[in-house]
């Protein structure tokens, strides 16, 4: 029972870590996403190495003070997590942003189309694991190796179960055969005994 609980816990942990690691790369827009915080611009509110969970948000519902994830205006491959500092215009919708640990607001205007989600929750330090998993070595050690061990244990369990079932079937066939041979032996001994008396 304990072994099964441990196996299930490991399996669930692997799924969660994998989900956290790949969610930013998924091609869907309307799903919660996780991001690893790699700089201290939002400290002390969000510490470096945290995992941040974001949810999709309608840009019209964003208020001053909300923390949002958005595509970096200087590099579309980067995601920035900063606080909404002000609303510059409503048509088109433009925001000014600022990191809590930064003195001046950001130099750019954030357009509504660049917003990826609103911060829901931040878990400190877990981001270091997720960042490691995104590297080939980390993926191999934390995802592939435990997954292979899990598969091997499952194969061994299946093999053991099949062997037990075969043993049960062999025993169930062996017992009637033993009775058959014993009864044949008894009948033949009775026949030979009767013949000898005559």
**What's the whole-number mean pLDDT along residues 152-163?**
86
Which tens digits make up the pLDDT trace of 78-128? 899 999 999 998 888 999 999 999 999 999 999 988 999 999 999 888 877
Amino acid 186: pLDDT: 56
Sign of CA dihedral 6, 10, 15, 20: positive
- The domain spans of the chain are 24-125
Name which of 61, 82, 58, 62 is nearest 70 in CA terms. Answer: 82
User: Residue 36 and residue 135: Cα distance in Å, rounded?
Assistant: 13
Compute the distance between CA of residue 185 and CA of residue 2 in angstroms, rounded to an integer. 50
- For the segment(s) 24-125, the CATH number from 3.30.450.70, 3.40.30.10, 2.10.109.10, 2.60.40.1180 is 2.10.109.10
Collapsed DSSP state (helix, strand, coil) of residue 87:
strand
Average the pLDDT over each of 19-28, 48-57, 85-94, 149-158 and give the range with the smallest value: 19-28
Q: Please check the confidence at residue 47 and state whether its pLDDT lies above 70.
A: yes
When mean pLDDT is compared across 60-64, 130-134, 157-161, the lowest value belongs to 130-134
pLDDT in tens, 8-26: 777 777 676 666 656 565 5
pLDDT at 168: 78
Please report which helix (H) or strand (E) contains residue 175, including its range. helix 145-197
85: tokens are 């500092």
CA pair distance 43, 66, nearest whole angstrom? 15
């Amino acid at each position: 029972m304990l072994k099964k609980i441990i196996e299930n816990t490991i399996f669930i942990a692997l799924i969660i870590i994998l989900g956290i690691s790949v969610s930013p790369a998924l091609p869907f827009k309307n799903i919660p996403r996780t991001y690893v915080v790699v700089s201290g611009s939002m400290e002390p509110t969000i510490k470096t190495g945290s995992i941040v969970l974001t949810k999709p948000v309608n840009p019209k519902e964003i208020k001053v003070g909300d923390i949002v994830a958005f595509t970096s205006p200087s590099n579309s491959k980067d995601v920035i997590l900063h606080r909404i500092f002000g609303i510059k215009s409503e048509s088109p919708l433009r925001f000014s942003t600022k990191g809590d640990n930064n003195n001046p607001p950001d130099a750019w205007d954030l357009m509504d189309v660049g917003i990826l989600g609103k911060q829901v929750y931040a878990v400190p330090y877990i981001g270091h694991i997720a960042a490691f998993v995104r590297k080939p070595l980390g993926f191999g050690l934390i995802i592939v190796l435990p997954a292979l061990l899990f598969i091997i244990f499952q194969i061994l369990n299946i093999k053991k179960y099949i062997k037990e079932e075969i043993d049960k079937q062999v025993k169930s066939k062996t017992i009637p055969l033993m009775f058959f041979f014993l009864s044949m032996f008894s009948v033949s001994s009775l026949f030979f005994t009767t013949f000898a008396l005559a």
